[in-house]
């Protein structure tokens, strides 16, 4: 799949967008129906490269980096070495923030094995632990981001430098939409916007039509979906007729300009969201049992619980890629007071994530919905400021469930103190290639011609897919 495009000037874009969001949407529809103007929709459904195991993705992004050695990767040896310098046998000390010469800090966690598979989970995640047999725990993740800006960027786009398309944008480009009334790709935040803001759900060098739609907290999660005050039928009809004529004229003169396609689809979607958006975020039709399952009745779980429930409602309606931030703005970043920090964010995420797994499963949706949990990196075994941990991109944990994933297994290992991945390392690019594979996309064949180069989502990586996830 490749795509060529011509340049659209800022003046042309502003001129085309200046007449009102809903009006432009309706004008586009009239333009499509008008004689002599056939406008191609770049988001129409596309055939995957191979039979997919998953239809949609819900990525639970724990921004700020949760500590793998306090949640899913127990390290008895680290506890033995608590308070001591790192032995030379573990290699050269490495950290992101200059804590390599600090002493090691053990984990006070209580660990238990869960399910028939016996997966280890700490007491910080008791609800998720009940679903151990659904989980594939990948303990040997690796990235290149030493700080949050680079780490969040790479987990979303494959690169620590901003400017590339996000994974959700690649999925939208590769598969098209599975619905006509909602976005194909949605990002949902909780307290603040994440590091990198819109770049994390942006389309990069792909056409703008493939970028994600941001859902915020509050009564109106989707901006610009209400008609302007004072708008009348007469005024809107006049605008529609004028804009339809302009679109017909432009399309006829520029048949190869895909920027018009992207613009029209954006306005069509905005118009559709005026009706479908309020319905999807309205939880009044959900049962009280479902709301309580997600923790909407408790202040500590209500925010992320609502996002998880909305995530289920979105994929239920055909949204392909949903990213839910927990702790957006680096909430999990425990350089100090790790105990209080992780107690807060584990409490906020444990019940909602478990509820999402249970709700998808009982509705028969988990088998084709890929659920992913993880942050931009993990945390080191060294103490920082006495009671915190540093950034660790050299070895950390993510988990996967549903969507063709073989549950009840752990994949890869870190060393005995949880610093480096030593068995079955999986770089972010390998993880992205694996996610795309589960969706039916070959990361080597998913390309876009940019500046004379066929770009792909995994850049120059992804050659070591984590096939163990699906038993490959």
77-95 tens-digit pLDDT: 999 999 999 999 999 877 7
The answer as to whether 252 is a domain residue is no
Instruction: Tell me the CA end-to-end span of the chain in Å, nearest whole number.
Output: 25
| Position 351 in a domain | yes
Per residue in 92-148, pLDDT (tens digit) is 877 777 787 899 999 999 999 999 999 999 999 999 999 999 999 999 999 999 999
- Residue 257 to residues 89, 173, 250, 341, 446: CA-CA distances in angstroms? 60, 17, 9, 50, 21
In a domain, 21, yes or no: no
**What does the block give as tokens for 248?**
């017909």
Q: What is the CATH number of the domain that holds 63?
A: 3.40.720
**Residue with the two structure tokens 């479902």:** 290
Measured CA angle at 183 (ends 192, 218), to 5 deg: 35
Helices 233-253, 258-281: crossing angle, 10 deg rounding: 140
- Which pLDDT does position 401 carry in this prediction? 98
Q: What is the pLDDT of residues 3-57, one digit of tens each?
A: 444 444 444 444 444 433 443 344 444 444 444 444 467 889 999 999 999 999 9
Residue 34 belongs to some domain of the structure: no
Number of domains in the chain: 1
Q: Can you read off the two tokens belonging to residue 267?
A: 């306005």
Note whether residue 60 is domain-resident: yes
**Tokens 């007469």 — which residue?**
234
Q: Return the axis-axis angle of helices 258-281 and 299-316, rounded to nearest 10°.
A: 130
Low-confidence residues of the chain: pLDDT under 70: 1-40, 219, 223-228, 232-233, 236-237, 240, 244, 255-277
Q: Is residue 253 part of a domain?
A: no
Residue 33 falls inside a structural domain:
no
pLDDT attached to residue 14: 40
Q: Domain of 71?
A: 50-87+108-226+269-470
Is residue 82 within 8 Å of 133, Cβ to Cβ? Answer: no
On whether residue 3 sits in a domain, the answer given is: no
| The predicted structure's pLDDT at residue 288 | 98
């Amino acid at each position: 799949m490749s795509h060529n495009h011509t340049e659209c000037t800022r003046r042309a874009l502003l001129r085309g967008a200046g007449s009102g969001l809903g009006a432009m949407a309706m004008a586009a529809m009239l333009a499509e129906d008008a004689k002599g103007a056939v406008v191609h929709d770049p988001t129409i459904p596309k055939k995957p490269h191979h039979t997919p195991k998953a239809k949609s993705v819900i990525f639970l992004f724990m921004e700020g980096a949760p500590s793998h050695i306090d949640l899913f990767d127990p390290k008895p040896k680290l506890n033995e070495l608590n308070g001591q310098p790192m032995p030379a046998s573990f290699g050269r000390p490495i950290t992101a923030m200059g804590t390599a010469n600090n002493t090691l800090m053990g984990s006070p966690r209580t660990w238990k094995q869960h399910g028939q598979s016996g997966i280890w989970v700490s007491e910080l995640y008791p609800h998720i632990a009940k679903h151990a047999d659904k989980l594939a725990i990948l303990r040997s993740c690796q990235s290149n981001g030493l700080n949050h800006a680079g780490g969040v960027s790479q987990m979303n786009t494959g690169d620590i430098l901003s400017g590339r398309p996000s994974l959700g944008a690649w999925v939208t480009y590769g598969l098209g939409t599975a619905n006509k009334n909602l976005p194909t790709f949605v990002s949902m935040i909780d307290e603040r916007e994440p590091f990198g803001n819109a770049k994390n759900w942006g389309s990069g060098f792909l056409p703008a039509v493939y970028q994600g739609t941001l859902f915020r907290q509050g009564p109106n999660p989707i901006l610009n979906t209400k008609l302007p005050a004072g708008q009348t039928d007469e005024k809107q009809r006049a605008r529609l007729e004028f804009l339809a004529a302009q679109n017909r004229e432009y399309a006829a003169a520029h048949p190869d300009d895909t920027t018009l396609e992207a613009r029209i689809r954006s306005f069509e979607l905005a118009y559709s969201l005026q009706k479908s958006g309020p319905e999807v975020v309205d939880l009044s039709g959900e049962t009280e049992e479902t709301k309580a399952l997600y923790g909407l009745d408790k202040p500590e779980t209500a925010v992320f619980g609502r996002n998880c429930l909305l995530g289920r409602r979105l994929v239920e309606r055909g949204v392909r890629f949903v990213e839910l931030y927990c702790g957006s703005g680096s909430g999990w970043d425990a350089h100090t007071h790790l105990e209080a920090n992780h107690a807060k964010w584990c409490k906020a995420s444990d019940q909602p994530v478990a509820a999402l797994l249970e709700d998808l499963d009982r509705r028969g949706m988990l088998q084709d919905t890929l659920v992913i949990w993880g942050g931009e990196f993990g945390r080191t075994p060294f103490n920082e400021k006495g009671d915190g941990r540093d950034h660790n991109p050299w070895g950390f944990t993510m988990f996967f469930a549903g969507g063709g994933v073989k549950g009840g297994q752990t994949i890869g290992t870190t060393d005995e103190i949880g610093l480096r991945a030593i068995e079955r390392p999986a770089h972010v690019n390998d993880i992205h290639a694996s996610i795309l594979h589960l969706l039916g996309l070959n990361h080597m064949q998913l390309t876009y011609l940019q500046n004379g180069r066929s770009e792909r989502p995994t850049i120059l990586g992804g050659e070591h897919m984590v096939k163990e996830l699906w038993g490959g």
